[in-house]
Amino acid sequence: MNSAWKRWVLENTLKGVSGKELYFTLINHGFVHDQIVPLLGANLSESQKQQLANRYRVLVPKPAFLGDEKSVDSYSSNITNSDTVAYETFGNSDFCVYKLTGCFDSDLCEAAVNSIKKGLRPSTITTVSSDKPQQSRTSSTCDFASLEADLAERLSEKLKSLMGKVHDTSEPIQAQHYGVQQEFKQHTDYFEPGSSEYSKFAGRRGQRSWTCMVYLNTVERGGETEFLYLKKRFSPKQGDVLVWCNVHKNGVVNPQSLHQAHPVSAGEKYIITQWCRLIAPK
């Protein structure tokens, strides 16, 4: 929570605004129970804290492919075989990325690429008006469901088998194409709490939790996905999947999920991405 919002809490507390009213304002702007309650302190009674926790405390669900792994913050340095799929983990208890090698077969990937080529448009970002030049994101985008319904359904079912119940609150599949020198500069996938971006894109639909990204082709050179805090790059290889959580297990956004798509140096790059959401508080 930035200093402006903390100052807002102090000013309104001094004006006599009740702790519960402050709590609901903060909840509606994307902040979560575990960061609000310590800030409000004695402005909430113990019984109020318990009642609010029972209704609003966030526990981020984990994808199905993680099997019996206990928490979204758990990690290891080795390949793990769950009941559904083998995956490799990169990172630590603060943030990690899961890599599922060769998870999508080549026929499905190539069918997706051929479909994507029919419906590309310039990519946009949520913090810049869509009618302005997108200097930080120069790729092209395709809303997959609007093209071939049967193919979109096959991809969706595959993603659902990996993500499980997390998939129930997912956004439609989005496809991206990167040509030579096209990139997506460093960014996070979550919507910044307390911002107009959050109000517009997450106020009703909820915060983005998990990102699932599938490489549809092997890039000749360049186009790596880099996670800045991990200092780790992943080279695009057909059928590989990257999955990461954009928030901590209590729903607080995680700046360590900062990542970027490096420019393609030779060839082109096709991916699909699906973002899963937390349920918006009501």
pLDDT in tens, 148-190: 788 989 999 999 999 999 999 999 999 999 999 999 999 999 9
CATH assignment of 64-277, given 2.60.120.620, 3.30.160.100, 2.60.120.10, 3.40.1390.10?
2.60.120.620
Between helix 19-28 and helix 3-14 the angle, nearest 10°, is 150
Q: Where are the domains of the chain?
A: 3-56, 64-277
pLDDT given at position 126: 57
pLDDT in tens, 104-131: 999 999 999 999 988 787 776 655 555 5
State how far the Cα of 173 lies from the Cα of 143, in Å rounded to an integer: 7
pLDDT in tens, 228-260: 999 999 999 999 999 999 999 999 999 999 999
**E strand residue ranges, 71-179:** 79-81, 86-91, 96-100, 121-122, 140-143, 174-178
**Residues sharing a CB contact under 8 Å with residue 112, sequence separation 6 or more, in sequence order:** 144, 151, 155, 175, 216, 270, 272
pLDDT given at position 75: 39
pLDDT in tens, 49-86: 999 999 999 999 999 999 854 444 433 434 555 555 78
pLDDT given at position 238: 98
Among 130-139, 226-235, 257-266, the minimum mean pLDDT is found in 130-139
pLDDT in tens, 4-28: 999 999 999 999 999 999 999 999 9
The values of phi and psi at residue 49, to 5°, are: -60, -45
